[in-house]
Homo-oligomer: A and B are copies of this chain.
Amino acid sequence: MVICSGFTQALAIVCQVLAEQGATTMAVETYGHQHHRAVIAGNGLKVTPVPVDRHGAIVAHLDGADSALLTPAHQFPVGVPLSAERRTAAVRWAANSGATIIEDDYDGEFRYDSHAVGALQALAPDQVVYAGTASKSLAPGLRLAWLVLPAHLVDRVAAAKRLADFQTGVLDQLTLAEFIQSGQYDRHIRKSRLAYRHRRDRLVDAIQRRVPGVAVTGIAAGLHAVLELRPDQEENRVVGLASSRGLALEGLSAYRAEPDTHPPALVVGYGTPPAHAYTTALARLCAVLDDST
């Protein structure tokens, strides 16, 4: 296990090591963080797109890449899990082609409706780099992430980490270790999971009652939902109206690697508003959706 200063550094360092070992391309889901694509490109790998459908990344599109960044448990931001068939196909692709997959398990602690989705890394420990983070379970400002690595990458990644910033801050690491060992971290996760699930249920309920034309998807896990707008609602217009009423939302297109067409949709982070403001935020969101036809 290598501790990194957040997922950004974890991704940067693994890309750097893969590039040093001869990798030239990293396949990335067509919906995701632009920042991650910039990190990959900044470390010398060409970003190639993998389309996403309701079963997750279409892994047949991995062919030709020599590495991949995937969000198998809860595709970000579309919100679907990678199907069992696709998971098998992805690790088969990696094993056959000698490719490395980075599994970005950014919100694995928060699964609500079904059994936990196992890590892809467990299916192919020699091909998959598992990346976990405290950004969702504790705070993004904490900058703590951890990598479970194929054995042949451990020394190289540790060396690259040392050259990047010597080590991650020890106060945060020791505090988290104490938090985990005392059992308080698990209690915090269970409590947070209930709270976020409650927020999600309230979001779904409010949208269904007050803006029934809008579908809420991607909600089996995590801290965000995708609202599929009515065909007559333009993303940019809804985002602008929301902004004018104090709501920071983004359209699904903000996460798109390349131009394509998709039905209009919003990405809504329901973990963000403080507890006392959640009712108001929900009411405003419904009003914005209702007014933006």
Contacts and interface: CB of A to CB of B under 8 A. Distances in A.
Interface stretch (A117-125, A166-174, A184-192, A225-233): A166-174
Contacts of A9: 164-166
Query: Which residue of A9, A142, A143, A168 has the most chain B CB atoms within 10 A of its CB atom?
Result: A143
7 contacts: A5-B169, A35-B162, A141-B167, A141-B170, A144-B169, A164-B165, A171-B171
A149 to B, nearest CB: 18
Given A171-B172, A172-B171, A6 B141 contact: no
Interface residues of A, number: 26
- Copies per complex? 2
A5 B171 CA distance: 13
A38 to B, nearest CB: 6
The binding surface of chain A is classed by DSSP as: helix
Contacts of A171: 141-142, 171-172
A8 B163 contact: yes
A47 to B, nearest CB: 14
A163 B42 contact: yes
A139 B170 CA distance: 10
Interface in A123-157: 139, 141-144
A143 B162 CA distance: 12
Nearest first, the 3 closest Cβ-Cβ pairs linking A and B are A141-B170, A9-B165, A8-B166
Given A5-B5, A172-B172, A143 B163 contact: no
A251 B42 CA distance: 39
A12 interface: yes
Contacts of A8: 162-166
A281 interface: no
